[in-house]
Amino acid sequence: MRARIRLEKEYRIAEADPRLFGAFVEHLGRCVYGGVYEPGHPHADPQGLRRDVVALVKELGVPVVRYPGGNFVSGFRWEDSVGPAAERPRRLDLAWRSTEPNLFGLNEFVAWTRAVGTSPMMALNLGTRGTEAALDLLEYCNHPGGSAWSDLRRRHGFPEPHGIKLWCLGNELDGPWQVGQKSPLEYGRLARETAKAMKLLDPTLELVACGSSHGRMETFPEWEATVLEHAYDYVDYLSLHSYYQNHEDDPAEFLASSAGMDAFIRSVVATADYVKARRRSHRTIHLSFDEWNVWFHSMEADRTVQPWTVGPPLLEDVYTLEDALVVGTLLITLLKHADRVKIACIAQLVNVIAPIMTAPGGPAWRQTIFYPFMHASRFGRGTVLDLRLDCPGYESKKHGPVPYLEATAVDDGRGTLTLLLVNRSVAEPVELEVQLGGYQGLSALEHQELRHPDRKAANTRERPDAVQPRPAAKKPEVEGDRLRLAVAPFSWNVVRVATRA
Q: Is 291 a catalytic residue?
A: yes
Distance separating alpha carbons of residues 437 and 7, to the nearest angstrom = 6
Among 38, 79, 108, 291, the active-site one is 291
Work out the end-to-end distance of the chain between its first and last CA atoms, rounded to an integer number of angstroms.
32
Angle subtended at Cα 65 by Cα 340 and Cα 188, rounded to the nearest 5 degrees:
55
Distance separating alpha carbons of residues 278 and 134, to the nearest angstrom = 30
Report how far apart, in Å, the C-alpha atoms of 209 and of each of 119, 163, 202, 387 are: 19, 20, 17, 32
- What secondary structure, in 3-state letters, does 164-190 show? CCEEEECCCCCCCCCCCCCCHHHHHHH
Q: Which of 7, 10, 54, 76 is nearest to 350 (CA)?
A: 54
The continuous run of DSSP H or E covering 227 comes out as: helix 222-231
Q: Which residues of 453-478 are buried (b: 16+ CB within 10 A; e: fewer)?
A: eebebbbeeeeeeebebeebeeebeb
Q: Which of 282, 286, 288, 318 is nearest to 300 (CA)?
A: 318
Contacts of 427 (CB under 8 A, 6+ apart): 489
Q: Are 224 and 272 in contact (CB under 8 A)?
A: yes
Among 26, 108, 172, 322, the active-site one is 172
Q: Is 26 a catalytic residue?
A: no
Q: Which residues of 245-272 are buried (b: 16+ CB within 10 A; e: fewer)?
A: ebeeeebebbbbbbbbbbebbebbbebb
CA 460 to chain centre: 23
Active site residues: 172, 291
